[in-house]
Amino acid sequence: MAYKTPQQLLDKAQSLAGFTLGELASKYQADVPTHLLREKGWIGQFIEYLLGAKSGSLAQPDFPELGIELKTIPIDRYGRPLESTYVSVVPLNNLAGLSWHNSVVRHKLLHVLWLPIIAEKEIPIEQRQIAMPFLWHPSQQQEQLLQQDFEDVIETVAMGKIDQIDARFGELMQVRPKAANSKALTEAIGPDGETILTLPRGFYLRPQFTRSILDEQF
DNA sequence: TCGTGATCATAA
DNA sequence: TTATGATCACGA
């Protein structure tokens, strides 16, 4: 399934609106997990499959030829996000030459296909319904704020102060651990320029920001 | 082992 | 109720 235009991809995504995950799964002979305790990414990966994304775990948008990133987002019945949205890992070393302009996070956020799913916890997963997907790109002001968050983080990391960054850092985009567990460590720059070990981190969009994106759309 | 898909569990 | 820090599965 190769899309020639963003509109084709959007049409395909919107054709899923109104269906439950159970309906779509039975159509494709897939099994819906009864809970997400161990398969936290199942819904996202199932939607990727339905839409034909195949970027896998590469650090690039899901549809590289279109430059479009697919994000499923759990919402309540009023359309409010239930979780933050993961974007990409935070670079912690080899920062020379890294800029907002050439960053993975910017390339992913430049064009996003949002696919909201009504996912209140009391709704069984197979009964969760897909809401209306839409294409989004950040406004000039939004990109400016995202760039600022990004540059503040990278500057702090470059100064060897990664350990001073927690989830309160960043206005639209925060930084949180992104690892198999709290014992998984990766290399970063220490206070004296030495190599230290620290938790891998990820950039996440705050729910307040994604809520404003959804509000603009609906 | 790392980056992808994220949600879970509990402290605040 | 919300936000933070922790965690799970998979593919390359």
Q: What is the mean pLDDT of residues A49-77?
A: 89
Give DSSP secondary structure letters for A69-110: EEEEEEE-TTS-BSS-EEEEEPP-S--TT--STT-HHHHHHS
Residue A102 falls inside a structural domain: yes
Residue A54: predicted pLDDT = 80
Residue A179 falls inside a structural domain: yes
Higher pLDDT, A59 or A44: A44
Residue A118 falls inside a structural domain: yes
Question: How far does the CA of A83 sit from the C1' of C1, in Å?
Answer: 13
Q: What is the mean pLDDT of residues A177-204?
A: 94
Identify the residue whose Cα has the smallest distance to the C1' of B5: A41
Q: What is the mean pLDDT of residues A114-136?
A: 95
- For strand C, is any atom closer than 7 Å to the CB of A152? no
- For strand C, is any atom closer than 7 Å to the CB of A199? yes
The residue range of the domain holding A89 is 6-217
Contact status, residue A9 vs residue A53, Cβ threshold 8 Å:
no
Higher pLDDT, A59 or A40: A40
- For strand C, is any atom closer than 7 Å to the CB of A40? yes
Whole-model pTM?
Answer: 0.96
Strands of chain A, DSSP E: 69-75, 85-89, 112-118, 129-130, 134-136, 173-177, 186-189, 195-198, 201-205
Instruction: Give A132-151 pLDDT, tens digit per residue.
Output: 999 999 999 999 999 999 99
Residue A10 falls inside a structural domain: yes
In chain B, which nucleotides are within 7 Å of a protein Cβ?
1-9
Q: Is A22 helix (H, G, I), strand (E, B) or coil?
A: helix
- State how far the Cα of A70 lies from the Cα of A154, in Å rounded to an integer: 25
Q: State the average pLDDT for chain A.
A: 93
Confidence at A59, pLDDT banded by 50, 70, 90: confident
Nearest nt to the CA of A85 via C1' is B6
Domain at A185, CATH number: 3.40.600.10
Residue A45 falls inside a structural domain: yes
Question: How far does the CA of A154 sit from the C1' of C1, in Å?
Answer: 32
Residue A187: predicted pLDDT = 94
Residue A55 has pLDDT above 80, yes or no: no
Q: How many domains does chain A fold into?
A: 1
Residue A2: predicted pLDDT = 82
Residue A1: predicted pLDDT = 64
Confidence at A60, pLDDT banded by 50, 70, 90: confident
Residue A1 falls inside a structural domain: no
Q: What is the mean pLDDT of residues A186-209?
A: 95
Q: What is the mean pLDDT of residues A105-131?
A: 95
Residue A72 falls inside a structural domain: yes
- For strand B, is any atom closer than 7 Å to the CB of A130? no
Instruction: Give A76-108 pLDDT, tens digit per residue.
Output: 999 999 999 999 999 999 999 999 999 999 999
**What is the percent of chain A where pLDDT is above 90?**
90
- For strand B, is any atom closer than 7 Å to the CB of A124? no
Q: What is the mean pLDDT of residues A20-38?
A: 93
- For strand B, is any atom closer than 7 Å to the CB of A64? no
Residue A32 has pLDDT above 90, yes or no: yes
